[in-house]
Amino acid sequence: MIGEWIRFGITCLLLIAALVGFTAAVIGAYRFGFVMNRLHAAGIGDTLGIFLVICAVSVSSGSFLEAAKAFLIIVFLWFTSPASSHFLSQIEYYTNPHLYRYVDRKIQDGPHSDEKEPE
């Protein structure tokens, strides 16, 4: 009985940490001023959140087969999530003709000067 409650506690911690990670990703996708920053925040938060969710599911399920299937999702997503982030940044690179203007301004003004993206 006490073992069940310990397992519930670990699941609870992992799931709440995953939700915090997802929430941080969403907040980052809203609050950063430049597209690449938003992309970075969302990609990192995604990866961390899905890892913690799958860990929570594996801990609470208790069967090896289910945990192995769940970890297959992590393996797949940890390969595909950086690839899709790469493609999204390539879209930004090819479709935004004013990207280098932003980079120029960053070199001039220092690394923490972005509030608005260049129009």
Measured CA to CA, the distance from residue 66 to residue 73 in angstroms comes to: 11
Output the CA–CA distances (angstroms, integers) from residue 48 to 3, 8, 55, 87, 109, in the order listed: 27, 21, 11, 20, 32
Is residue 19 near other proteins by the rule CB under 8 A? yes
Pick out residues in 34-53 that bind other proteins (CB under 8 A). Answer: 35, 38-39, 42, 46, 49-50, 53
What lies within 8 Å, CB to CB, of 63 at 6+ separation is none
Q: Which residues bind other proteins (CB under 8 A)?
A: 1, 4-5, 8, 11-12, 15, 18-19, 22-23, 25-26, 29-30, 35, 38-39, 42, 46, 49-50, 53-54, 57, 60-61, 63, 65-66, 69-70, 72-73, 76-77, 80-81, 83-85, 87-98, 100-101, 104-105, 107-108, 117
